[in-house]
Amino acid sequence: MSGQLSVIGLGPGDLAAMTAEAGSALKTAHAIYGYAGYLDRLAPQSGQRRFASGNGEEEARAAAALAHAAAGADVALVSGGDPGVFAMAAAVCEQIDTGPEAWRALKVTIVPGVTAMLAVAARVGAPLGHDFCAVSLSDNLKPWSVVERRLDAAAAAGFVLALYNPISRARPWQLGVAVERLRRHLPETTPVVFGRAIGRPDERVIVTTLQAADPAAADMATLIIVGCAQTRLVTRADQAPLVYTPRSFAPVSG
């Protein structure tokens, strides 16, 4: 019997934002591996074993799921959002690249999902409506100087920025430094969006400006979108404003 591994994107939090394909892959699995917080979202299913692990244990989790699949089981490994964006798919590929030869023979399926920047963008309008970059502010696995160089390059070239992993207990100052740095490139009025837990009871979305953006408003689960010079706000009487980046490069008049 030959096993297989599915690396599954659960979407931003509300399971209604998960794809049908992801739901099917979860149902047929003998075992599910994942960060405890993600496993808690899934209804238990008889005959299905669960292996919860903590944040920061990505390597060990990927290796354990691969070893289990190599032993013949149909194994699911879940990620929040999309597994390919700052999540488990790269960790699995790294383990296959450097692990036992048998892991290269395994059938591995990546099931995409709605990543956080798409969910946050959808809540406020279309801030990613034109060219954009996704940058992780974590300097656990890359030097901070690389983060700064990328922020500078992206903002100077007019990309909208989606900032993942903005802050954590172990990385308390990086977001503040990043915001300071972006202020050198962009107008004070540039729209900034903080979004977390989209679709969940603790959802919170803040629309502010680069000048007023407060790093303390972010936590580990927050995704931040920083607009470009063209990004616009549309005020509405009884609703939150829309934030969008026009499809054309020239600023929309008004």
Instruction: Give the footprint of a second copy on residues 142-161 (CB under 8 A).
Output: 142-143, 146, 149-150, 152-154, 156-159
Subset of 22-41 contacting a second copy (CB under 8 A) = 23-24
Which CB atom, from 127 or from 215, has the smaller least distance to a second copy? 127
105 binds a second copy (CB under 8 A): yes
Q: How many residues in the shown chain lie near a second copy by CB under 8 A?
A: 84
For residue 55, CA distances in Å to 59, 126, 170, 202, 241 come to: 11, 31, 13, 20, 35
Which CB atom, from 169 or from 236, has the smaller least distance to a second copy? 236
Binds a second copy by CB under 8 A, chosen from 26, 32, 78, 135: 135
For residue 171, CA distances in Å to 129, 213, 216 come to: 30, 18, 12
Interacting residues of 3 by C-beta distance below 8 A, sequence separation 6+: 68, 69, 70, 71, 72, 73, 74, 75, 106, 107
Do β-strands 132-136 and 125-126 pair in parallel, antiparallel, or remain unpaired? unpaired
Span interacting with a second copy, options 70-78, 169-177, 216-224, 228-236, rule CB under 8 A: 228-236
Binds a second copy by CB under 8 A, chosen from 32, 70, 77, 134: 134
Which CB atom, from 210 or from 243, has the smaller least distance to a second copy? 243
> What is the 3 state secondary structure string of 30-74?
CEEEEEHHHHCCCCCCCCCEEEEECCCCHHHHHHHHHHHHHCCCE
Which CB atom, from 73 or from 91, has the smaller least distance to a second copy? 91
Which CB atom, from 145 or from 216, has the smaller least distance to a second copy? 145
Is 245 strand, coil or helix?
Answer: coil
Residue 145 one-letter amino acid: S
Cα–Cα dist 22/38, whole Å: 14
Span interacting with a second copy, options 63-71, 99-107, 185-193, 207-215, rule CB under 8 A: 99-107
Subset of 42-81 contacting a second copy (CB under 8 A) = 58
16 binds a second copy (CB under 8 A): yes
Span interacting with a second copy, options 40-48, 119-127, 169-177, 205-213, rule CB under 8 A: 119-127
DSSP 186: S
Contact 121, 244 (CB under 8 A): no
Other C-beta atoms lying within 10 Å of the C-beta of residue 166: 25
Contact 242, 124 (CB under 8 A): yes
Which CB atom, from 9 or from 34, has the smaller least distance to a second copy? 9
